[in-house]
Amino acid sequence: MAPPTRMDLLQGTLDVLILKALSWGPLHGYAVVRWISQRTEDALRIEEGALYPALHRMEQREWIEAEWGVSENNRRAKFYRLTPAGRRQLNAEAESWRRYAEAVGRVLATATA
Amino acid sequence: MLSWRRSFRLHLRKGTVEQDVNDEIAFHIDQATRELMADGMDPQAAREEAGRRFGDVEGIRRTCREIGHQRQRGRRRTEIVSELGQDALFAVRQLARTPGFTLIAVLTLALGIGATTAIFSLLHAVVLRPLPFDHPERIVHLWMVDRGQDRSMSAGNFLAYRDGVRSFEHLSALRNASFNLTGDGNPERIVGARVSAGYFETFNARPLLGRVISAAEDSPGRDRVVVLSHGLWHDRFGADPRVIGRDVRLNGLVHTVIGVMPVGFASGSRLWVPLALTPEQMGNYGDSYLRLLGRLRPGASLAAAQTEVADLAKRLETVDARANVGKGARIEPFVDHLLGGYRRRLLILLGAVACVLLIACVNVANLLLARGAARSREIAIRAALGAGQGRIVRQLLTESLVLSLGGAIAGIGLAHLGLRGLVAISPAGVPRLGEAGIDGLALAFALGLGLAASLVSGLVPALRTARPDLQTLLKEGGRSFGTGSPRDRVRTGLLVAEVALALVLLAGAGLLIRSAIQLQQVELGFDPAGVLTAQLSLPRADYPETDRAAAAVQRVVTETGQLAGVESAAAISILPLSHNDSSSALEIEGHPRPVEQRLEGSTREVSPGYFRTLRVPLLHGRDFTAADRAGAPKVVAVNETLARLAWPGEDPIGKRLAWSVDDQTGPDWRQVVALVADVRQRDLAEDMRPTLYLPMAQSDLWGDNDIEVAVVARTAGDPSALAGPMRRAVRGVDPRLPVYDLTTLEEIRAAAAATTRFNMLLLSALGGIGLLLAAVGIYGVISWFVSQRTQEIGLRMALGATEGRVLALVTWQAMRPVLVGLGVGLAGALAATRALGGLLFGVTATDPATFAGVLVVLAGAALLASWLPARRASRVEPTRALAP
């Protein structure tokens, strides 16, 4: 059993988080992991390696583009950037997440009342 | 340009998918390790922790590699597709720049592809499609073989084969019959069949409604039941599902409808009644009137069945020697009998159209070569700039592919129109012809032809064009001097092929044209002009005695003879040229022969006045009269062929012959009272057959069959105007008798020549197209030769050659490959026309006159096609030709 403060990722959630992370500008994979753990204050448990298949699949779907560049400490790193298609995908996903969370929240609110 | 950059990048990245994934993961773990160390962890522990947080490194690496490879493959696919698209677009643009060339090439190919597709559709509809029966390959005919010919079987033999051959799951017998259908509505003549129980099971056919004929119903007295075809059910009974159990009158007898067959089950019959053999018939081995159809057991081979029936045929010789000695038995697949003749004819047509298509391809190849020559500078420059030869060939092939696909699409339109025309003019009776159409298979066939045509016409020009001699071309500015370059050999080869193909095609067409002419000139032996004919059928139920039937026919003839405008009228059992026959083995008095060597003579029952009405010359003796009735001395008339074979060098009048022999009283002799001229009995193409005529009232050949006769009436005016009065005359004699198949003898004669005329028309059209295409092709090639040699010709003329000499020289050089082509074509044609064999009439497959004629026509066309450019060459001004 995981501690109550750390939750396993729901299916498909990782994609939205990656898209959101990249919406601020190009990042390499490690930076994406850091961004997500900072923003969620480590509330979500991410297996770091799982990030890469997700990134590559999204690249295949042309939601994101990759290019080799140089990291802040001058090392060769692969940077990912959101494409217009990726941005549309992010908006759509964010919207459906919001509605989903609202609906679940409403149900839970009435149940405890 | 975009695609170039992309493919460039692709090449750099090739094989680096692994590297990329490794680098990316290594960077991640490195970065994590550094940060953990910065938090104070020692390097070893930090590296371990970073790896733990990352998870299954090897598994993730593998997944990422797979995704990477997938992406790479997908990208390569899109690139190839987009390159093809670019090539095609480029090709279309190039072709649009020369609309004249494009139009001619597309139309040429469309003609070839369209014709080939149309004939293929016919072949598919009529021959290649499986028959609509369960395991059609197991359905067979069983014939008696008599002196090499397939014959019908006797009832006795039928039962022997049915019960004695293990290879048959079912063996059934069929006898064609027509019926006067009376009752509600007009009396109607229906073509049907009497079939034994097991007939429908032979085809494994189930009825749409009701049931089929049972074994119990296949016996005399219980046989008053009828199965309707779908067509008859529809037309006569309004597709009423309650028709089962209803009574209908057939030939005056009440029959109960027990079943209706589905649409596909027709085969010419519109209804079926039980055969119901009598015990007397079952014991009869001599009278052969049954067609046998069998279904082989699963697993039984044709060869095994053939052996079995041949053995039984041998044993049957001892059962009834008189009927069976010297007779064999043969099994023939049902489909072969039904479609065999058509398969050959349509394959020949397909061969002919394939010739046209090849000529079309050769023409387009020539056009493409000329185009390639014109573009050789462009190609050389592209090659010099680094375009690979493969790339250029692909581009050029794409061009011919676009042309061919254009040709295929236009060809499909032509095929659709052509097919409708073909079906409209084709001779009657071709099975399944109405179902021919441009379907998915025909579309695929046409597109496949387009693809093949693009290769045949495009490959050689593309290879030639893509491999230009760079230095010479760029140096000489595209002008080459002399005639020894390899490209000329290619063109010469194409010319030879074209001439040879055209010769094969024209030889076939020529032979068929001569056949049709010969057939048109065949001596009929009678005069068909102005003769109307109508069929009449007198059912045995109403006319049990032949005598009475003959009297009724005579009354109809007399009434008809008195109609206004009728010069004379008569009746005959089987009209000439009706593809029908009845014959008997004859015994000639004083010339006894063994059974199997006896003379076989066609037999015709006629009324007095028949010879006069059809203007068949009565050479000797007397016509039949009303006095030649039943009971009077039995008489016959013989034709010249029979007289010559039976009594060579003697006068036949007064001689006697017989066909039936009584065990007690001996042969039933009949005396010859007349010698008449030969008449084509069955069809135009046959040899004259020995024939004898006998007075209707004296015939014993009908047995218990219904009496069917054709009434003929000669008129000075329009014979078709007689139709109405003739019907009324029949109604006056017996209102129950239907009158059917009203037509003129001229029409019957035209129908007899229809198949040959159809073949001739088609092959002539194809030959004409082939000749035209070949002439255009020859003209094109020779024009090109001449244009290439303008400099040389100018030089010769500057040196004093006369116009005439130049004309002769150029023409001769152009005609040389034509002569080679004629030689090759002659050899090909001699081999190919052998396949025409059975379609020819009055000419041999190697008819010298036809071949000579075709050679002259083709050589003449080639001469004209080379003379025109040669004349142009001879008028070249030396100064112009030699100017740089």
Between β-strands B670-676 and B635-639, what pairing exists: parallel, antiparallel or unpaired?
A: parallel
Which runs of consecutive H residues, i.e. helices, occur in B734-753?
745-752
Q: Do B24 and A76 touch (CB under 8 A)?
A: no
CA distance B596 to B583: 15
Higher confidence at residue B826 or residue B79? B826
B765 burial class (0-12, 13-18, 19+ CB within 10 angstroms)? middle
Res. B300: pLDDT tops 60: yes
Inter-chain touch B71–A29, beta carbons under 8 Å: no
Interchain pair B71, A30: CB under 8 A: no
Residue B406: pLDDT above 80? yes
- CB-CB contact of A56 with A50 (8 Å): no
**Which residues have a Cβ under 8 Å from the Cβ of B432 and sit 6 or more positions away?**
B125, B126, B129
Q: Helices (H), strands (E): how many in chain A?
A: 4, 5
- What residues of A are in contact with residue B24 (Cβ under 8 Å)? 29, 52, 77-78
Please, which pLDDT band fits residue B3 given cuts at 50, 70 and 90?
A: very low
B27, B56, B74 member nearest A30 (Cβ): B27
Q: Which residues of A touch B54 (CB under 8 A)?
A: 47-49
CA B196, chain centre distance (Å): 32
**Structure token pair of residue B622:** 């007397």
**Do the Cβ atoms of B28 and A47 come within 8 Å?**
no
pLDDT at B706: 81
Residue B477 pLDDT more than 70? Answer: no
For B327, B372, B458, B459, B468, the CA distances from B368, given in Å and listed in that order, are 63, 6, 7, 10, 15
Q: Is pLDDT larger for residue B333 or for residue B798? A: B333
B81: number of Cβ within 10 Å = 10
Nearest CA in chain A to B27: A77
Sign of CA dihedral B126, B132, B138, B140: negative
Residue A84 predicted with pLDDT over 90: yes
DSSP states of B617-657: -EEEE----TT--TTSPPEEEEEHHHHHHHSTTS--TT-EE
At CB < 8 Å, which residues of chain B contact A? 20-21, 23-25, 27-28, 30-32, 34, 53-57, 59-60, 63-64, 67-68, 70-71, 74
Q: What is the pLDDT of residues B575-629, one digit of tens each?
A: 998 878 888 888 899 888 877 678 889 999 999 999 999 999 999 999 999 999 8
Helix pair angle (B99-123, B334-374), 10° resolution: 170
DSSP letters of B717-752?
S-GGGGHHHHHHHHHHH-TT--EEEEEEHHHHHHHH
Instruction: Annotate B303-316 with three-state secondary structure.
Output: HHHHHHHHHHHHHH
Q: How much is the average pLDDT of B524-536? A: 91
Whether pLDDT at B768 is above 90: no
Question: Average pLDDT in the B445-473 region?
Answer: 77
Please count the residues of chain A: 113
CB nearest to A53's CB, from B27, B32, B67? B67
In a mutational test of the A interface, the residue from B29, B60, B69 whose CB has the highest number of chain A CBs within 10 Å is B60
Torsion on CA atoms B725, B728, B732, B733, rounded to nearest 10: 80
Strands of the sheet with A64-70, listed across from one edge = A27-28, A76-82, A64-70
pLDDT in tens, B803-858: 888 888 888 887 888 899 999 999 999 988 888 877 788 888 888 999 999 999 99
Asked if A30's CB is within 8 angstroms of B64's CB, the reply is no
Distance CA A7, CA B242 (A): 76
Least confidently predicted of B298-312, B475-489, B615-629, B716-730: B475-489
Q: Which of A6-20, B17-31, B82-96, B191-205 has the lowest mean pLDDT?
A: A6-20
Render pLDDT for B499-510 as a digit per residue (tens, 0 to 9): 999 999 899 888
Give me the percent of chain A exceeding a pLDDT of 70: 87
pLDDT at B1 over 60: no
Q: How far is A48 from chain B (nearest CA, A)?
A: 5
Nearest CA in chain A to B72: A60
Chain A residues within 8 Å of chain B (Cβ atoms): 28-30, 33, 47-50, 52-53, 56-57, 59-60, 71, 73, 75-78
pLDDT digits (tens, 9 = 90+) for B322-372: 778 888 899 999 888 888 778 888 888 888 888 888 888 888 888 888 788
Candidates B606, B662, B664, B656; CA nearest to B634 is B656
pLDDT of B88 higher than 60: yes
* pLDDT at residue B450 in the model: 87
Taking CB atoms and an 8 Å cutoff, what residues of chain B touch A8? none
Would you say residue B14 has pLDDT above 90?
no
Q: Are B401 and B409 in contact (CB under 8 A)?
A: no
User: What tens digit of pLDDT does each residue of B157-178 get?
Assistant: 999 999 989 999 999 999 988 8
Categorize the per-residue pLDDT at A1 as very low, low, confident or very high, splitting at 50, 70 and 90. Answer: very low
Residues B318-334 as b/e (b if ≥16 CB within 10 A, e otherwise) read eebeebbeebbbbbebb
Shortest Cα–Cα distance, A108 to chain B (Å):
34
A92-111 pLDDT, tens per residue? 988 888 888 888 888 888 75
Distance, in angstroms, between B64 CA and closest chain A CA? 5
| Distance between A97 CA and the closest CA of chain B, angstroms | 27
In B, which residues are within 8 Å of A77 by CB distance? 24, 27
| B32 closest CB neighbour out of A28, A30, A53 | A30
Q: Chain B closest CA to A101's CA: distance in Å?
A: 29
The residue-averaged pLDDT of B181-202 equals: 85
What 8-state DSSP symbol labels residue B243?
G
More confident residue, B205 or B386: B205
**Which 8-state DSSP code applies to residue B128?**
I
**CB < 8 Å to B63, chain A:** 52-53
Higher pLDDT among residues B170 and B784, named by residue:
B170
Across the interface, do A47 and B55 touch by the CB < 8 Å criterion?
yes
Tokens encoding B540: 């045995």
Does A8 score more than 70 pLDDT?
no
Element (H, E) at B670: strand B670-676
pLDDT confidence of residue A9: 62
- Of chain B, the end-to-end C-alpha distance in Å amounts to 38
Question: How far is the CA of B846 from the CAs of B128, B426, B686, B839, in angstroms?
Answer: 30, 27, 21, 13
**How does DSSP classify residue B130?**
P
Exposed e or buried b for every residue in B629-641, given b needs 16+ CB within 10 A? Answer: bbeeebbbbbbbb
Comparing B306-315, B420-429, B466-475, the range with the smallest average pLDDT is: B466-475
Q: What pLDDT score was predicted for residue A7?
A: 57
Q: How far apart are CA B11 and CA B18, in angstroms?
A: 15
Nearest to B680, CA basis, from B605, B759, B588, B574: B574
pTM for this predicted structure: 0.69
pLDDT at B604: 95
Band (B483; pLDDT cuts 50, 70, 90): very low
Q: What is the mean pLDDT of chain A?
A: 83
Q: Which of A28, A47, A52 sits opposite B64 (nearest CB)?
A: A52
**CA of A78: which chain B residue's CA is closest?**
B24
| Residue B362: how many other CB atoms lie within 10 Å | 27
What is the H or E stretch that residue B734 is in? none
Rounded Cα gap, residues B805 and B754, in angstroms: 52
* In the predicted structure, residue B9 carries a pLDDT above the cut 50: no
| B469 confidence band (pLDDT: 50, 70, 90) | low
Q: Residues B496, B497, B498, CA angle at the centre, nearest 5°?
A: 90
Mutate one of B17, B28, B75 to test the A interface: name it (highest A CB count within 10 A).
B28
Hey, are the CB atoms on A78 and B23 less than 8 Å from each other? yes
pLDDT for B821: 92
**pLDDT at site B639:** 94
Q: Is B394 helix (H, G, I), strand (E, B) or coil?
A: helix
CA distance A77 to chain B (A): 7
Contact at CB, B27 and A48, closer than 8 angstroms: no
- CA distances to B155, B255, B271, B545, B880 from B279, in Å: 10, 22, 25, 21, 100
For residue B558, the one-letter residue type is: T
Q: Round to whole Å and give the CA distance between B562 and B728.
A: 12
**H or E stretch covering B158:** helix B155-164
Q: Which residues of A are less than 8 Å from B21 in CB distance?
A: 52
Q: Which residue type, as a one-letter code, is found at position B380? A: A
- Is pLDDT above 80 for B770? yes
Which chain B residues are closer than 8 Å to A46 by Cβ? none
Residue of chain A minimizing CA distance to B73: A60
Reported as a pLDDT band with limits 50, 70 and 90, residue B125 is confident
- Is the pLDDT higher at B382 or at B855? B855
Q: Quick count: other Cβ atoms within 10 Å of Cβ B666?
A: 10
pLDDT at residue B781 greater than cutoff 50: yes
- For B860-881, b/e burial (b = at least 16 CB within 10 A) is ebbbebbbebbeebbebebeeb
Whole-number pLDDT of residue B185: 66
Give tens-digit pLDDT for B710-719: 999 999 888 8
Is 60 exceeded by the pLDDT of residue B15? no
Residue B126 DSSP label = I
Are A49 and B55 a contacting pair at CB < 8 A?
yes
The single residue listed with the structure tokens 């160390």 is B37
| Confidence check: pLDDT of B268 > 80 | no
Residue B8 confidence class, pLDDT cut points 50, 70, 90: very low
Q: Which residue of B has its CA nearest to A50?
A: B60
Chain B residue nearest residue A52, CA to CA: B64
**Cβ–Cβ below 8 Å for A29 and B23:** no
Burial class (CB within 10 angstroms; exposed 0-12, middle 13-18, buried 19+) of B678: buried
- C-alpha to C-alpha distance for A48 and A31, rounded to whole angstroms: 11
The pLDDT assigned to B479 comes to 46
Position B340 scores a pLDDT of: 74
For B537-587, give the secondary structure using H, E and C: EECCCCCCCHHHHHHHHHHHHHHHHCCCCEEEEEEECCCCCCCCCCEEEEE
| DSSP string covering B168-183 | EEEEEEEEEEEEEEES
Q: Is the pLDDT of residue B480 over 50?
A: no
- Residues with Cβ within 8 Å of B489's Cβ and at least 6 positions away in sequence, in order, are none
Q: Give the span between the Cα atoms of B115 and B109, in whole angstroms.
A: 10
Amino acid in position A37: S
* Pair of tokens at residue B59: 């598994």
The pLDDT assigned to B820 comes to 92
Kindly report the number of other CB atoms within 10 A of residue B163's CB atom.
10
| pLDDT at res. B555 | 94
Tell me the C-alpha distance between B809 and B818, whole Å.
Answer: 15
